[in-house]
Amino acid sequence: MKTIHILHAFLLVLPWANGAPTAQPSNPPLRGSEDLQGYSSNNKITEQSTEVKYTLVTGQKDDANNGVFLDFEGVENPQPIRGNLGGSDPGPRNSYYDQINSDKLAPPGTDHGQTINAQWPMGLSHNRLGHDGAGWARQENTNVMPDATAMAGVDMRLEPGMIPVFSVMFTDLQAINENGETFIDDVSEGDVWFFPPGVPHSIQALDTGVEFLLVFDDGSFSEDNTFLASEVFAHNPKEVLAKDLGVPITAFENIPEDELYIFPGTPAPKDIEAQNVSTAAGVVPRTQSYSYHFSEQPAHEVAGGSVKIVDPVTFPIASNFSAAVVTVKPGGMREIHWHPSSDEWTFFIRGQGRATLFSAPSTATTFDYRAGDVGYFPRSNSHYIENTGDEDLLFLEVLQADKFTDIALGQWIASTPRQIVADTLKLSNETLSKLKTDKQYVVAG
């Protein structure tokens, strides 16, 4: 049965990107004649060649359902062709985007429909620049990824000695909780920290500077709304501040008029104990520490790379955050999996990869990722992350969960009675005998 779709739309026939411009009067009016509406025997039909010159890359004519990765990097004129699907594209278009997003331009034949947008490059986020060259911060939240509702992230850089008011290279952390207990620590590249909501704290870069990632449990979080000490002072009467702190009102003559978010500071001492301020309540108990030296935890090696996990099992203060740092060797793949109890927020640190997000019952979209990109996979939506480059792929998976868990497709199928699997998927006994009942995490290429 044929159907007719009636839509409200405005259609513009695009000139071919390389076509010759049509001659125009020297200075035509802004609007044309009403006589241009509809059919007329005087209508002029411009005929131009639509020939597109291109070269297909390795695997581009393979069966589309094989879905092999197409490397368009450096290809002058990549085309939306895969197997017997698609066709040539003369433009207009941004060829650079097509080169680094081959699975968007020529998706695997197994893609179907349209999932949420599960990709955001931090390089497209607005950058918030600190005072006097102190650093910068850029963020991902629901403003740019509307469906990433459970978590948001900030990528922040501090030059040596600089302070943001609110991993990683060497960084000095300080905080005080509602009991008056104080906390101070130095952390290094690969370490993590967690500050509960409302706990005031500061972060200062040491001699080498620092870049770190902040993840929040609300997809609409904006670092523009951070609770700043400078703003508290700026928006309370000086008489009230003087009374509250027990100092003369003249003490506040030089407080900043504008917010201080990232700004130059006095270098921290080599011995952080010299900077520690204690109260009658003492220090935060070690079992409730705000930092975890994740960098000193050995990685669990698997066939295709390595995995290491931090969650409340070993870092109790982070009561609803779990994370895994995953390394995937070239050609390897984080196995197809899903998280039944949490969305997954992923940040790509090094290398390049791709993932197919599958949403039941039949929707699937494949995305390509580079260092600095954010991935977002809703709970119980399956996905993998395949290394499509020639160096190790390194990324961070973050869950809102009291324990890092997932369900792996391979383990599920291997642990199901063979006859049920054979009847359902039409797999041979030879194939079924090769399946592994242990979770693989990262499989080799």
DSSP states of 330-377: TT-EEEEEE-TT--EEEEEEESEEEEEEEETTTEEEEEEEETTEEEEE
CA quadruple 82, 357, 96, 325: dihedral sign: negative
- Please say whether the beta carbons of 340 and 407 come within 8 A: yes
Q: Please give the Cα distance from 317 to 287 (Å, whole number).
A: 8
The answer to whether the annotation marks 337 as part of a ligand binding site is yes
- Choosing from 140, 335, 386, 397, the catalytic residue is 397
- Please say whether the beta carbons of 311 and 401 come within 8 A: yes
Q: Please give the Cα distance from 223 to 304 (Å, whole number).
A: 36
The answer to whether the annotation marks 201 as part of a ligand binding site is yes
The answer to whether the annotation marks 211 as part of a ligand binding site is no
The answer to whether the annotation marks 112 as part of a ligand binding site is no
The answer to whether the annotation marks 131 as part of a ligand binding site is no
Q: Please give the Cα distance from 150 to 168 (Å, whole number).
A: 24
Distances (CA, A) of 271 to 164, 276, 287: 20, 10, 23
Q: Assign residue 380 a region: left if phi > 0, alpha if psi is -120 to 50, beta otherwise?
A: left
Active site residue 301: no
Taking alpha carbons only, the member of 76, 86, 92 closest to residue 107 is 86
Within 8 A by CB and 6+ apart from 82, the residues are 60, 64, 70, 106, 107, 108, 109
- AA identity, residue 181: E
Query: Which 3 state secondary structure label does DSSP give 431?
Result: helix
Query: Nearest-5° angle of CA 240, CA 241, CA 243?
Result: 65
Q: Please give the Cα distance from 433 to 144 (Å, whole number).
A: 45
Binding-site residues: 201, 337, 339, 344, 383
Binding-site residues for Mn(2+): 201, 337, 339, 344, 383
Residues marked as catalytic: 397
